[in-house]
Amino acid sequence: MPAASITPTTRTRRQFLTLLGISAAAVSCGTATATGGSARPGGQVTTLKYQGSVGAVTLPELAADLGYLGGLTLEWVGNTISGPQDIQSAATGQIHFGGAFNGAIVKLAAGKAPIKAVISYYGVDQDVFSGYYVLEDSPIRSARDLIGKKVGMNTLGAHSQAILDIYLGRNGVSKADAAKVEALVVPPVNTEQTLRQKQIEVGVLGGVLRDKALAAGGIRPLFSDFDLLGRFSAGSYVMTQRFIKENPDTVRTFTTGVAKAIEWSRTTPREEVIARMESIIKKRGRNEDTATLKYWRSYGVAETGGRIEDKEFKVWLDWLAERGEIKAGQLKPSDLYTNEFNGYGKG
């Protein structure tokens, strides 16, 4: 694998806002729901456009394969490059639903995007977490040791940077000193190699990539999001408020189906879940490698059926307000999500 090319400069706040945010004018002038797709006689959409992930099975894809989406079908339009990009595509009507880190959802909603989270789809637990790793012989042992160092992560302003900020703050690093810790964008597939070649001092690794790096040896953890916050749901699927209003039955079927898939993945033997995922990937025929699925352990969703709680948004509302990215009190957790359409456990 060729070495990753890293420019040792941190993206500016403006660059991140350009990636994540969309102006109120763009939202209000654009379509609020994806065009095309089938509709039943009542007019509600029955074909949902979405973006997938290479070599992985999303919860809606699992739900569809298990028969939990009823009369709904999914239409894959490509693969997402990041959570912020996915929910922006949903907000502008290019797809019907998108998923991202809850802090990214807060940021987009603060920019007047008419979106609402309907169900959690990934989280953090003892098996599924993001670790911040250094080389075995690294002198970095504490939060203060990170001052002036480079930390490689997949996206700025999202989950990984939020966890880094929380770690620094909880360990007494001042805002002025925390600003000297360089957060750099490094493609996840290149993070291990970039760390080993000492182009960065810390690399954020999760899932399959973390397990493979640890198996190779020579690195050790500094901390993880699970260490800091314990078990929690970290990201949600969103839809536009207009789509929800116009297609309540579709939203209910989709959300409840995904909730059932979450619980199926919890209660089914791991080997069986992996075998099902392998079958799904092979059937969709996108020329993907299924080898990494053997490392799958959990989706990490904390609450039963992916139901959303205030605390899952409040921590990021507070973080973004402290950073000056949103105004304190601008939004309440209840403004950002609804459990109304999640029928799991209601008979």
pLDDT tens per residue, range 91-145: 999 999 999 999 999 999 999 999 999 999 999 999 899 999 999 999 999 999 9
Q: What is the pLDDT of residues 157-211, one digit of tens each?
A: 778 998 999 999 999 999 999 999 999 999 888 999 999 999 999 999 998 789 8
Q: What is the DSSP string of 37-49?
A: --B-TTS-B-EEE
pLDDT at res. 189: 84
The continuous run of DSSP H or E covering 76 comes out as strand 73-79
- Per-residue confidence at 28, pLDDT binned at 50, 70, 90? very low
Burial class, 178, CB count within 10 angstroms (exposed 0-12 / middle 13-18 / buried 19+): middle
Above 50 in pLDDT, residue 6? no
CA separation for the pair 183, 282 (Å, rounded): 37
Arithmetic mean of pLDDT, 237-243: 97
Strands (DSSP E) found in 80-181: 98-101, 115-124, 130-135, 150-153
CA separation for the pair 239, 241 (Å, rounded): 6
Bridge partners of 184, per DSSP, are 152
Average model confidence (pLDDT) for the chain? 88
Three-class SS string for 158-214? Answer: CHHHHHHHHHHHHCCCCHHHHCCCEEEECCHHHHHHHHHCCCCCEEEEEHHHHHHHH
**Percent of the chain residues past pLDDT 70, beyond the cut:** 88
Above 90 in pLDDT, residue 280? yes
Measure the CA dihedral 222/224/229/232, to 10°.
Answer: 180
The torsion angles phi and psi of 131, rounded to 5 degrees, stand at -105, 150
Going along the chain from its start, the domains and CATH numbers come out as 31-121+231-335 (3.40.190.10), 130-229 (3.40.190.10)
Convert 194-224 to b/e letters by CB count within 10 Å (16 or more is b): bbbeebbbbbbbbbbbbeebbeeeebeebbb
Instruction: Write out the two tokens for 164.
Output: 């880094």
Helices vs strands, H then E, count in the chain: 14, 10
pLDDT at res. 33: 53
What does each C-alpha distance from 314 to 34, 83, 160, 172 come to in angstroms? 30, 19, 17, 22
Strands 130-135 vs 219-224: parallel, antiparallel or unpaired: antiparallel
pTM above 0.85, yes or no: no
> Do the beta carbons of residue 131 and residue 308 sit within 8 Å?
no
Above 50 in pLDDT, residue 343? yes
Straight-line distance from the first to the last Cα atom of the chain, in angstroms, rounded to the nearest whole number? 51
